[in-house]
Amino acid sequence: MLRALIYLLPLALTIYAFIDCLNTPEDEAKHLPKIAWVFIILLFWIVGPIVWLAAGKVREVPADGRTPSEWHRGRRTRWVAPDDNPDFLNSLKDENKKDESLLKDWEADLRRREDELKRRDSGAGPEESAPPAS
């Protein structure tokens, strides 16, 4: 049992450090580029993860106040929800205006076609109003 723990503990530490390194934005990796840290963690099985956890990453909260839940591939997500984003809400308003104008155009076209059919039906006899044979 102790023998298994001797292998599992460094493996778990390596996996944790590897995932932590991959999830860390590039601008928060200290001393080396992030890709170099990945190689160090994977090549130096016990020492690499310990060095990464001790010196490879900025551990204090960044000045801009972002938190890990706001990270997205190294970039700060500006809005938590679409309802909080005024640009998104304005785009919805613009889309609604476009949709409403398109709907009004369709309704006007439908009314025009209906009026045209009514005029055709009222001016034509029952034989002329039958649809042409295809």
Q: What is the pTM of this model?
A: 0.45
Instruction: Give residue 100's pLDDT.
Output: 94
> pLDDT tens digits, the chain, 134 residues: what are they?
778 888 888 899 999 999 998 888 888 888 888 889 889 988 988 898 988 888 887 766 555 555 554 544 455 555 567 777 788 888 888 899 999 999 999 999 999 999 999 999 887 655 555 555 55
Give the residue extent of every domain in the chain.
Answer: 2-78, 84-122
Distance separating alpha carbons of residues 14 and 8, to the nearest angstrom: 10
Q: What are phi and psi of 63, to 5 degrees?
A: -65, -30
User: Distance (Å, rounded) from C-alpha 71 to C-alpha 52?
Assistant: 19
